[in-house]
Amino acid sequence: MLGLMQDWPLLLHRIIDHAAIQHGTREVVSRAVEDGSLRRTTYARVRQRSLQVAKRLGREGIALGDRVATLAWNSDRHLELWYGISGIGAITHTVNPRLFPEQIAGIIDHAGDRILFLDLTFVAMVEQIQDKLPSVERYIILTDAFHMPDTTLKGAVPYEDWLAEADDDFAWAEVDENTAAGLCYTSGTTGGPKGVLYSHRSNVLHALAVAAPDFMGLSSRDTVMPVVPLFHANSWSLAYSAPMTGAKLVMPGAKLDGPSLHALLEGESVTMTAAVPTVWLGLLQHLEATGGTLTSLKRVVIGGSACPRAMTEAFERKYGVTVSHAWGMTEMSPLGSFCSVKPVYEHLEGEALYDLKVKQGHPPFTVEFRITDDAGKDQPWDGQTFGRLKARGPAVAKAYFRREDEPILDEHGFFDTGDVATLDAAGYMQITDRSKDVIKSGGEWISSIDLENLAIGHPDVAEAAVIGVAHPKWDERPLLVIVPKPGKTPGKDEMLAFMTGKIAKWWLPDDVVLVEAIPHTATGKIQKTKLREMFRDYRLPG
- Residues of this chain that interact with ligand AMP (CB under 6 A) are 186-187, 233, 303-307, 325-330, 334, 360, 417-419, 431, 434, 523
CB of 368 to ligand AMP, least distance (A): 17
Q: Are 275 and 265 in contact (CB under 8 A)?
A: no
Q: Could you confirm whether 445 is annotated as catalytic?
A: yes
CB of 293 to ligand AMP, least distance (A): 26
Q: What is the dihedral of CA 517, 300, 447, 453, to 10 degrees?
A: 60
* C-alpha–C-alpha distance, residues 446 and 168, integer Å: 57
Q: Could you confirm whether 474 is annotated as catalytic?
A: no
Residue 270 burial (10 A CB sphere; 0-12, 13-18, 19+): buried
Q: Could you confirm whether 440 is annotated as catalytic?
A: yes
The dihedral built from the CA positions of residue 202, 208, 212 and 216, taken in this order, carries a sign that is positive
CB of 220 to ligand AMP, least distance (A): 28
Q: Are 252 and 38 in contact (CB under 8 A)?
A: no
Of the candidates 440, 500, 502, 533, the residue annotated as catalytic is: 440
11/420 with CB nearer ligand AMP: 420
Q: How many CB atoms lie within 10 A of CB 213?
A: 9
CB of 236 to ligand AMP, least distance (A): 9
* C-alpha–C-alpha distance, residues 97 and 107, integer Å: 11
283/302 with CB nearer ligand AMP: 302
Closest by Cα among 483, 445, 452 to 466 = 452
Residues 6+ apart with CB under 8 A from 112: 67, 135
For strand 115-118 and strand 91-94, is the pairing parallel, antiparallel, or unpaired?
A: unpaired
Task: Read off the DSSP letter of residue 318.
Answer: I
31/390 with CB nearer ligand AMP: 390
Of the candidates 80, 331, 452, 476, the residue annotated as catalytic is: 331
Of the candidates 445, 492, 525, 529, the residue annotated as catalytic is: 445
CB of 131 to ligand AMP, least distance (A): 29
CB of 436 to ligand AMP, least distance (A): 10
Of the candidates 42, 94, 186, 312, the residue annotated as catalytic is: 186
Per-residue CA distances from 61 to 57, 88, 138 (Å): 7, 11, 12
Label residues 65-86 b or e (16+ Cβ within 10 Å = b): ebbbbbbbbbbbbbbbbbbbbb
CB of 154 to ligand AMP, least distance (A): 31
76/452 with CB nearer ligand AMP: 452
Q: Which residue is nearest to ligand AMP (CB)?
A: 329
Beta bridge mates, 465: 481
For strand 272-275 and strand 299-303, is the pairing parallel, antiparallel, or unpaired?
A: parallel
Which stretch of DSSP H or E encloses residue 273? strand 272-275
52/333 with CB nearer ligand AMP: 333
135/322 with CB nearer ligand AMP: 322
153/438 with CB nearer ligand AMP: 438
Catalytic residues: 186, 331, 440, 445
